[in-house]
Structure formats: C-alpha cells, structure tokens
Structure 1
Amino acid sequence: MHPVEETLAAQVHAALLARGETVASAESLTGGALGDRLSSTPGASATYRGGVVSYATDVKQALLGVSDELVATYGVVSAQCARQMAEGVRALVGADWAVSTTGVAGPQLQEGKPAGTVHVGLAGPRGTTSVELHLAGDRREIRTRSCHEALAALLGSLTAQ
C-alpha cells in the first residue's frame, strides 16, 4: 500500500477510535482493496467491522438491499446505488459509518459510462451522502485512486462532525 494511503487509513482509524465509532465497507469496482486498507492499520479491529465485496449486481441486491427499482432507474454506476450500498452494509454489520465504491474501472464502458466514473457512498449517524469522481488512468490506477478518494471522503465526514 502507498504511504499516503497508509496515513489516510491510520487517520480514519484514529478519528473513529476517538469517537468510539466503527466503520464498514461495501465495494464493487475496488474488489476488496478498500477493506484491505481499512483493516491494515494496527488496531483496526477496534474500528473496522467488516465489509462486502459486491461485484455483481445481484450480490448488491441480495446482500446490501440495493433495490430492483434503483437498478432499473439509475443503474449500479450511480450515486443512488453508492448510497444504498453504504446504507446496506452499515445495517448488515452494525457499524456507525459505512463507505462504498461503485463505478467503472475500465477499460470498457459500463451502463454507457466511461472508465473512471466512480461513486463513493458514505452513510453515518447523520445521514447518507455520495461523491462523484471522474478519474483518469488505467484500470489499476482507477481502482487505487478510488480507494484513496473513498478514505479521504470518509475522513472528511468524520472530522467535519
């Protein structure tokens, strides 16, 4: 893991620890890499509850409660899906916070959207939001940057409240 991501993950852990709160992750395009980062900090078991890698649409629906209507209306590469994924994993594992990633790592289009279109969902005690990203690079770079941006968004939410 890159040192900047190690620092971000450690900062997330410290912020959660200071608040006495926990986090969970729900991932699609990042395929477990975000959970790896969240669990890599020493002592992470005090703050990281676990995660779901929901690469396939039916897994998003069955495990995270992403609705058929949402998939039909907005698709899985959407802010709505990212928010529902975060809410679903937060409830599933009983975490105070949840972060999710969904999008297109490439190289092909998905749902008519180009590689680098990514949505990060954040669910917490005061509600749910999402961040839309447009990232450049190859598949590996998009996945890595998605993890970085998800950690940064989570840290921003933790330190803003």
Structure 2
Amino acid sequence: MQIIEEQLQQAGAKLGDQLRASGRTIATAESCTGGWVAKVLTDRPGSSAYMMAGLVTYSNEAKQVILGVDPQVLESEGAVSELVVRQMVAGAVRATGADVAVAISGIAGPGGGSEQKPVGTVWFAWGTGPGHTETSLQHFEGDRDAVRRQAVLYALQGVTGFLQSR
C-alpha cells in the first residue's frame, strides 16, 4: 500500500484537531518510525497546544532509561512485543505528563526480521497509562519506507479512534 504525504498530513490534522478540541495533550514513544509521528503532529502551526513531547527510543537502552521499560521484558519478549509497547506508553505518560501517548516498535527492514517476527511486523499501543492502554499488532508489506509510512498512518488513526471512544 502506497501511503502518500497527503494521507499522513490529513491523519495528523484530524488527530491534532481532536486533541485541541478536547484540551488533551499527546506524547509519542517511537522506535522504528524514528519520530515520524511526532513530525506529522508538529507540521501544523499551533501544535504546541496539544503536542507535549516526541521521544525516539530506538535502542533498548533508551527504552529502559527514558521510558522505564523493564530490561527483563526486553530480554524475554524482545523490543518488538506487546509488553514493550505497553510499557512505552506508560513511560511516555509518566515522563511527559501528557494525557495520552502512542508507542510504536517494529521491524522496518530490510534486515532484522526472523521467522517469528518478519520484516513489516509492528506493535502499537496507545493509551493514558497502564490500566487504559490498547495494543495492536500489524504486518505491513513493502520496503523500509513503505513499512514506516504505513506504521505512521496506522498510529495516527489508532490514537484518533482511541480518543473518539473516550
């Protein structure tokens, strides 16, 4: 699936408008997307009204130090796992004071995949903290750029849906 810049901007605008209208703030905790979700959210003037922080925690060490992800969970489950993205959301909310956070950890490729977790495997979480977090596992097709674009769009749409249900 070819995701174009316009789709990302529209999804970011929709989420930004929703956050602004509800008076909520957001933080991102990104790994494979390298801050792209935060970039899309801050492309609009006035985004400081809802964008609290964008944390790129690409390495396992950064996930531990900045977000408080349990090293034992990283060891047993791997960085690309449901438990890790749950802990990333909780850590982002705790570290920034944002009302909601989104976390993304995946394998964008071209290398790094395995039989259990092939290239294109991406875990997402969004929520307000440990007790109020939703997760989703997706498998995207394409090269590194395509996987990352799909992940950014999915994350923006996922948080938008989460907030609409609250």
- TM bin, normalised by shorter chain, reads over 0.9
Moved over 3 A (4+): 109-112
Residue of structure 2 in register with 1:160 after alignment: 165
1:116 partnered with 2:120:
yes
Q: 1:118, 1:6 → 2: CA distance?
A: 21
Q: 1:28, 1:157 → 2: CA distance?
A: 21
State the TM-score, normalized to the length of structure 1: 0.95
Structure 2 counterpart of 1:45, one-letter code: S
**Offset of 1:34 from its aligned partner?**
1.2
- Segments of 5+ residues of structure 2 without an aligned counterpart are none
Structure 2 counterpart of 1:38, one-letter code: L
State the TM-score, normalized to the length of structure 2: 0.92
Q: Give the percent of matched residue pairs that are identical in Structure 1 and Structure 2.
A: 35
Q: 1:143, 1:106 → 2: CA distance?
A: 10
1:63 partnered with 2:32:
no
1:105 partnered with 2:105:
no
Structure 2 counterpart of 1:108, one-letter code: G
**Offset of 1:155 from its aligned partner?**
0.4
Q: 2:110, 2:123 → 1: CA distance?
A: 17
5 Å-filtered alignment, 1:7-156, equals: 7-110=10-113, 112-124=116-128, 127-156=132-161
Corresponding pairs, count: 161
Partner SS for 1:55? coil
- Is this contact kept in 1: 2:127–2:162, CA < 8 A? no
Structure 2 counterpart of 1:143, one-letter code: R
- Is this contact kept in 2: 1:108–1:114, CA < 8 A? no
